[in-house]
């Protein structure tokens, strides 16, 4: 049984959280905490701190060192490579002014194709641990993030809207798809025709639900927190 308090606080536990996708948010929160502390250092030391962090995680992983403490498991997880690579991409982006955006995006997309081909073939269909996920996903994802960040002013409006909805979509899509799947099961028929219809309906409804959550909850809450932040920490 998931611990409700730990689930809502995104605190590491040996039992999965109440929301299925919450396990990734727990890793994300762990990274944010350490990264926030790193901002107390002089800015020139930030790249060295990130590199040291990556070396420690890599050494722990390749040494096969495992902890029985869920907090340490999160802080030293290979999944942090994905966040560290994102931070590294941001540093490169600021220094390069995104000069390599198109090249990086094309390279990232080609790598994604290669990853899907490898994972789609036989024994590589499932990833066994977080280390394998980091190995396959970190580089193509980082290149795409860097490339898309550099091309943000050239992207169509619909992609920006989907970007706004993305976090709400991430949190709600499993719940939405689960409900739609139960409804569809009651009148589904043999053959692939209705499967394609179900795919389109589920895609559109999932995005629609995410849009409602974004406009009715996420956006108002963000506005409130920005006002509170301005009140508590007024610009000097």
pLDDT for position 123: 54
- Is residue 124 scored above 60 in pLDDT? no
Q: In the chain, what are the domain boundaries?
A: 156-236
The confidence band for 95, taking pLDDT boundaries of 50, 70 and 90, is: confident
**More confident position, 26 or 64:** 26
- d(CA 111, CA 91) in angstroms, rounded, equals 22
As a whole-number percent, the residues of the chain with pLDDT over 90 amount to 31
Mean of the pLDDT values across residues 41-48? 89
- Is residue 107 scored above 90 in pLDDT? yes
SS3 state at 36: helix
- Is residue 214 scored above 70 in pLDDT? yes
Mean of the pLDDT values across residues 218-226? 93
Report the mean per-residue pLDDT for the chain.
86
- Is residue 39 scored above 70 in pLDDT? yes
- d(CA 55, CA 72) in angstroms, rounded, equals 16
Shortest CA distance to 214 belongs to which of 176, 178, 161?
161
* Residue labelled with tokens 């490169």: 92
Mean of the pLDDT values across residues 61-66? 71
What pTM, to 2 d.p., does this model score? 0.76
pLDDT for position 125: 53
- Is residue 43 scored above 80 in pLDDT? yes
- For residues 80 and 12, is the Cβ–Cβ distance under 8 A? no
- d(CA 70, CA 138) in angstroms, rounded, equals 23
Entry field: residues in the chain: 236
User: Per-residue pLDDT tens for 135-192?
Assistant: 889 999 999 999 988 887 677 888 889 989 999 999 999 999 999 988 888 777 777 7
């Amino acid at each position: 049984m998931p611990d409700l308090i730990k689930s809502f606080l995104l605190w590491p536990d040996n039992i999965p959280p109440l929301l299925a996708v919450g396990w990734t948010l727990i890793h994300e929160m762990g990274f944010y905490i350490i990264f926030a502390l790193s901002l107390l250092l002089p800015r020139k030391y930030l790249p060295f701190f990130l590199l040291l962090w990556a070396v420690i995680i890599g050494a722990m992983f390749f040494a096969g060192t495992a902890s029985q403490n869920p907090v340490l498991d999160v802080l030293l997880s290979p999944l942090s490579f994905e966040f560290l690579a994102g931070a590294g991409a941001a540093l490169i982006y600021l220094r390069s002014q995104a000069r390599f955006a198109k090249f990086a995006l094309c390279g990232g997309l080609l790598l994604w194709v290669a990853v899907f081909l490898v994972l789609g073939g036989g024994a590589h269909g499932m990833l066994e641990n977080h280390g394998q996920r980091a190995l396959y996903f970190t580089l193509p994802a980082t290149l795409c993030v860097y490339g898309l960040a550099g091309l943000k002013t050239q992207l169509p409006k619909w992609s920006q809207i989907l970007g706004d909805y993305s976090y709400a979509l991430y949190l709600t899509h499993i719940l939405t798809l689960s409900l739609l799947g139960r409804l569809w099961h009651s009148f589904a028929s043999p053959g692939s025709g209705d499967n394609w219809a179900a795919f389109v309906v589920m895609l559109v409804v999932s995005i629609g639900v995410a849009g409602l959550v974004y406009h009715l909850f996420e956006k108002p809450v963000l506005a409130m927190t920005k006002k509170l932040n301005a009140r508590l920490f007024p610009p000097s």
